[in-house]
């Protein structure tokens, strides 16, 4: 049976992070993840995780300012020092709250210089992460949501991962981004399975609950389960209205959970 993680960057984003963790537990999620937790005290997050028994699967490096377009810094030439400070911050915070993976955000950049900078920063991140048993993730983003983002295709990401030889560098496979630009989500999942470190989903093209849009996520979840994936996959969608009112898909896709409204 597929397990689900609540991405608290979008779900229950209107309440403090510790309260959102409690809400995710009440709704029947198996884990949580978030984007940028740095404004919340680590001790408060740890207490909420301990109280619920949920694991925090991942966080992002600092999104940066307009130099990276608000999408990170790690591929932006001239921002190496700031990018590594962001990596240090994320890894240290992850270690404090027991996070399993850090998504190193590339930022908006292009060209050979950006590629060189990004790969050097990933090597730095992976080396540092080894001390904390952390996985480093990279995620291609689609050009509709993140125009100009350096990492914009699965092929590009796979080449970086394979060429690096870094054992703790993995792919964050977001079904939404793949569905928006590359299609054949199931085919790509199967082809890239050995290098995938985390999976996320949302409806295509609206990025809402997964029982909407043109992608059959019941089929995709079944395929993921059949491939032997045992870790929770991330519900990273934007609910319309209250998060609690958007969770009926969990029952409709074979899951029963406390507090879910159809």
CB 140, CB 154: distance < 8 Å: yes
Tell me the three state secondary structure of residue 208.
coil
Nearest to 167 by CA among 120, 130, 119: 130
Is residue 261 in a domain? no
Is residue 258 situated within a structural domain?
no
pLDDT bucket at 67, cuts 50 / 70 / 90: low
Is 152 within a domain?
Answer: yes
Helix axes 17-26, 42-52, angle to 10 degrees: 10
What is the residue range of 34's domain? 4-252
| Predicted structure pTM score | 0.94
Quick check: is 56 in a domain?
yes
| In the chain, % of residues over pLDDT 70 | 95
Q: What sections of 55-108 are H helices per DSSP?
A: 80-97
pLDDT above 50 (res 95)? yes
Residue showing tokens 């950049």: 109
Q: What average pLDDT does the segment 51-72 reach?
A: 87
Q: Report yes or no: 197 and 239 within 8 Å, Cβ to Cβ.
A: no
Query: Out of 33, 139, 155, 182, which one is annotated catalytic?
Result: 139
Q: Is 236 a catalytic residue?
A: yes
pLDDT tens readout for residues 109-136:
999 999 999 999 999 999 999 999 999 9
pLDDT of residue 66: 56
Specify if 168 maps to a domain. Answer: yes
Task: Count the domains in the chain.
Answer: 1
Q: Quick one: pLDDT at residue 209? A: 97
Residue 183 lies in a domain: yes
In a domain, 118, yes or no: yes
CA 24 to chain CA mean position, Å: 16
Q: Which residues contact 138 (CB under 8 A, 6 or more apart)?
A: 103, 104, 106, 122, 151, 157, 160, 161, 169, 170, 171, 172
In a domain, 220, yes or no: yes
Q: Which residue has the tokens 């779900």?
A: 11
- The chain-wide mean pLDDT, for the chain, equals 94
Q: Residue 217 belongs to a domain with what CATH number?
A: 3.20.20.150
- Indicate which residue of 33, 100, 236, 244 is catalytic: 236
For residue 16, give the 3-state DSSP assignment.
Answer: coil
């Amino acid at each position: 049976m597929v397990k689900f993680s609540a991405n608290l960057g979008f779900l229950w984003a209107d309440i403090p992070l510790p309260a959102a963790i409690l809400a995710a537990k009440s709704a029947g999620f198996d884990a949580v993840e978030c984007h940028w937790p740095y404004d919340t005290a680590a001790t408060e997050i740890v207490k909420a995780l301990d109280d619920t028994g949920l694991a925090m699967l991942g966080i992002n490096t600092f999104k940066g300012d307009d130099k990276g377009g608000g999408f990170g810094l790690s591929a932006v030439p001239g921002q190496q020092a700031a990018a590594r400070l962001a990596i240090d911050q994320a890894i240290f915070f992850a270690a404090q709250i027991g996070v399993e993976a850090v998504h190193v955000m590339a930022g908006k950049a292009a060209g050979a210089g950006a590629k060189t900078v990004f790969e050097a920063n990933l090597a730095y991140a992976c080396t540092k992460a080894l001390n904390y048993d952390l996985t480093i993730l990279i995620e291609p983003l689609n050009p509709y949501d993140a125009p100009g983002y350096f990492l914009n295709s699965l092929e590009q990401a796979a080449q970086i991962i394979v060429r690096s030889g870094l054992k703790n560098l993995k792919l964050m496979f977001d079904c939404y981004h793949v569905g928006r630009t590359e299609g054949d989500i199931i085919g790509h999942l199967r082809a890239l399975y050995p290098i995938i470190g985390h999976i996320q989903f949302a409806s295509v093209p609206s990025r809402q609950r997964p029982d909407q849009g043109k992608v059959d996520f019941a089929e995709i979840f079944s395929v993921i389960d059949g491939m032997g994936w045992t870790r929770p996959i991330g519900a990273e969608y934007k609910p319309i209205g209250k998060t609690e009112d958007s969770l009926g898909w969990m029952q409709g896709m074979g899951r029963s959970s406390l507090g879910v409204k159809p």
